[in-house]
């Protein structure tokens, strides 16, 4: 049996609980803590009241390129970069704080959360691996996520040039139908 510090184990448990509450997947917990898989499973069930979702983590940069995920991921990355430059936060602490700021902004705007903590964590890893970059929109000047090494000249973001089907989700259609059903 290996010697393990009670204090470091307590820190890992506290971190795991915080990550679980923010929606982290089990694979992320395993990568970021020194707790065993069995311990993490028990902790997940205790915190969430259910087993963790099964399946592999997303491993494609393409998800970040569709218009709505791109906007949400770009918002998160703006917070991540700002805090990275202006605070002493590093690593996972920086990701957590940036993600909390993203959630606060999304909730304030009464929008649906599109970017999960696990996807945000994965995206930061994609940036570190130089698989993603940001490109400046020629219309609004905002920085948006794009594939690494894609040409950036003349880039127009998904907000300035929305796809024809943007906003045509079931939820938006239901809200529109409910508004039209109310007599004037």
Instruction: Quickly list DSSP for 48-92.
Output: HSSPPPPSPPP--GGGGGSHHHHHHHHHHHHHHHHHHHHSS--HH
Q: Is residue 137 domain-resident? A: yes
Q: Closest Cα partner for 85 from 142, 77, 116, 75?
A: 77
What pLDDT band is residue 3 in, cutting at 50, 70 and 90? low
Place of tokens 């949400």: 72
Answer yes or no: is 136 within a domain.
yes
The answer on pLDDT for 100 being more than 60 is yes
Q: How many domains does the chain have?
A: 2
Residue 134's nearest CA partner among 63, 64, 57 is 64
The confidence band for 1, taking pLDDT boundaries of 50, 70 and 90, is very low
- Assign 135 to helix, strand or coil: strand
Asked whether residue 16 falls in the same domain as residue 88, the answer is: no
How far apart, in whole angstroms, are the C-alpha atoms of residue 34 and residue 4?
10
pLDDT of residue 30: 93
17 domain-assigned: yes
Residue 28 falls within a domain, yes or no? yes
pTM for this model (two decimals): 0.83
Domain region containing 157: 61-170
Q: Under DSSP, is residue 117 helix (H, G, I), strand (E, B) or coil?
A: helix
Q: Tell me, yes or no, whether 101 and 165 share the same domain.
A: yes
In a domain, 181, yes or no: no
* Per-residue pLDDT at 112 exceeds 60: yes
User: Rounded to the nearest 10 degrees, how much is the dihedral formed by the CA atoms of 63, 107, 157, 93?
Assistant: -60
Give the highest mean pLDDT range of 34-48, 49-63, 147-161, 168-182: 34-48
Q: Does residue 179 sit within a domain?
A: no
Residue 136 DSSP one-character state: E
- Residues 73, 157 within the same domain: yes
* pLDDT at residue 168, rounded to an integer: 61
When the pLDDT of each residue in the chain is averaged and rounded to a whole number, the result is 88
pLDDT on residue 117: 95
Residue 66 is assigned to a structural domain of this protein: yes
| Whether 41 and 67 share a structural domain | no
CATH number for the domain including 102? 1.10.10
Residues 80 and 143 reside in one and the same domain: yes
Share of the chain above pLDDT 70, in %: 87
């Amino acid at each position: 049996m290996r010697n393990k510090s009670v204090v470091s184990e307590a820190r890992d448990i506290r971190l795991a609980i915080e990550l679980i509450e923010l929606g982290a997947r089990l694979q992320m917990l395993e990568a970021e803590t020194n707790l065993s898989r069995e311990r993490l499973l028990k902790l997940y069930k205790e915190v969430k009241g259910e087993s963790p979702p099964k399946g592999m983590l997303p491993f494609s940069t393409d998800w970040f390129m569709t218009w709505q995920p791109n906007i949400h991921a770009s918002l998160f990355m703006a917070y991540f970069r700002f805090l990275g430059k202006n605070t002493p936060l590093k690593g996972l602490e920086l990701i957590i704080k940036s993600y909390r700021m993203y959630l606060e902004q999304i909730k304030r705007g009464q929008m649906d959360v599109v970017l999960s903590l696990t996807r945000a964590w994965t995206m930061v890893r994609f940036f570190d691996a130089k698989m993603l970059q940001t490109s400046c929109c020629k219309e609004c000047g905002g920085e948006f996520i794009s594939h690494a090494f894609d040409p950036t000249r003349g880039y127009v973001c998904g907000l300035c040039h929305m796809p024809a089907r943007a906003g045509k989700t079931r939820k938006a259609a239901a809200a529109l139908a409910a508004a039209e059903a109310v007599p004037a």
